[in-house]
Amino acid sequence: MEAACGHADHPVAGRYVLVDRIGSGGMGTVWRAFDLRAQSWLAVKLLTQRNSSLLLRFVREQGLRIPHPHVVAPTGWAAEDDLVVLTMDLVRGGSVQDLLGEQGTLPTPYVALLLDQLLQALSAVHAAGVVHRDVKPANLLLEATGRGRPHLRLADFGVAATRAEPRLTRHPGAVGTEGYMAPEQEAGDPPDPRADLYAAGRVAVHLLTGSPDSAVPDDGLAPLLTHLLQPHPDQRPASAAAALVELRSADVGDWVDGIAVPDRLPPATLPASLPVAAAAPALPPPTTDRGPTRVLAAAGCFTAAIALCAAALVRVLSQ
């Protein structure tokens, strides 16, 4: 069983109890978990495939600690037997993809707010020297804010890269999701932050029209989206911050309430057999307040990632 090493009788690394599966991705599954040491709920990404390339990407992801209210980045890691896990904040409102499935297209003021928050996230990510490379609605999580203003958080850094690091693939090729990749990304060019800006433009077009491949709609976002979707990176905004300036000067109309982002996770309880179950706190109500985040220096992150990679690879390959 995938979570055999995370049940109440055998928490991962003696610490993380995997309660229920809440998502999946190309490198593993995502679980709601309870941290016995911190006595708190969190999300855990679990890798079970014995693939050294995937493991190296997974290990590299744990080094990306980007503190920002619109980013969901790993907060820690653990390894046991053939499992490696990353821990991160538990985001309860699902994804923008979920919202699209319920609402269909979204009004321009709502899309403008989501795009504003995405560009804020990309500005922080790019300032950390990272290119996300897979900006799409499924990787844009939402806090459960009800009918209030949405709170977007960019997630899933599994294929993220820095411009200076070596490739983790044997041959050049496209890394990303079809429909959102910039032309140069599809051609296998080195990671470039402006490819993420192109993807942000495709996401906005998708939210407005129902498809990322549609033409730019004729509304207040048209000038910015046309700029973001230029075929050559040199023709796009120079940075996410520059794009944000353009967005905030656009005429996108007045904000209108009415689109709900519900709490999409069912109630969760720990098994009665767990000694701390009675003392486990209830899941907190949704909030957009972000507490301080522990930040590791870039050199420290890189060293930790290499150390974890070596240990995890030995553990996996020795099975």
Enzyme catalytic residues: 134
Beta strand 40-47 pairing with 28-35: antiparallel
Give 256: exposed, middle or buried? Use CB within 10 Å, 0-12, 13-18, 19+. exposed
- Angle value at C-alpha 202, between 262 and 220, nearest 5 degrees: 85
Cα separation of 112 and 123, whole Å?
A: 16
Strands 130-131 and 40-47: unpaired
What tokens does 3 get? 């979570």
DSSP 274-290: STTGGGPPPPPPP----
d(CA 86, CA 59): 9
Residues 6+ apart with CB under 8 A from 70: 117, 118, 120, 121, 124, 151, 152, 153, 154
Largest CA distance in the chain: 60
Helix or strand (DSSP H, E) at 140: strand 140-142
Helices (H), the chain: 52-62, 96-103, 108-127, 183-186, 193-209, 222-228, 240-248, 298-317
